[in-house]
Amino acid sequence: MLRHFPAPWGNEIRVGYLEAFMALFFCVIMLLCMIGGAKERENQIEETKQNLYYVMVNLLLSSLLALVYTNDLFTAYVFVEINTISACGLISSKRRSYKAAAAASRGTAAPSIARETAFSASSGGNCRCERLRPIPASSPRP
């Protein structure tokens, strides 16, 4: 538990038999998908993008596992956003996928903005951040 807020508002990780089973289930499904799609992956993914493809697959799996183990809303929200980004990366790594990449970015931009707006409204806009000060126009830029 982070600070004094209980779940679902504070950060909390929960480990039990159900979470372990779900994590094992996701890992086995991802392994079967990677084994079953090996030939298709060679044809669809460019040689220069294969390393990025595997990074996005690992990012997707790790964020799915984090969603399984989390027990609070904020961490779940963060990892849903990471899932969205990694899924867009997987879609855009295909050969000649300009239309697919454009559709993926369009299809995730509006829901992402809606989620952020809903989350900000539900938290009351109180992020406990210091107030930002404007930079004077006469100061030199770094």
Instruction: State which residues of the chain have pLDDT below 70.
Output: 1-10, 95-142
**C-alpha 92: how far from chain center:** 15
Tokens of 118: 């809903």
List, in sequence order, every residue forming a beta bridge with 61; answer none if it has no partner.
none
- pLDDT at position 126, please? 47
Look at the block and give the residue holding tokens 């027990």. Answer: 71
Look at the block and give the residue holding tokens 């990012």. Answer: 59
Tokens of 99: 């239309």
Which pTM value belongs to this model?
0.65
C-alpha to C-alpha distance for 111 and 36, rounded to whole angstroms: 31
- pLDDT at position 130, please? 46
Residues 66-76: b if buried by 16+ CB within 10 A, e if exposed:
bbbbbbbbbbe
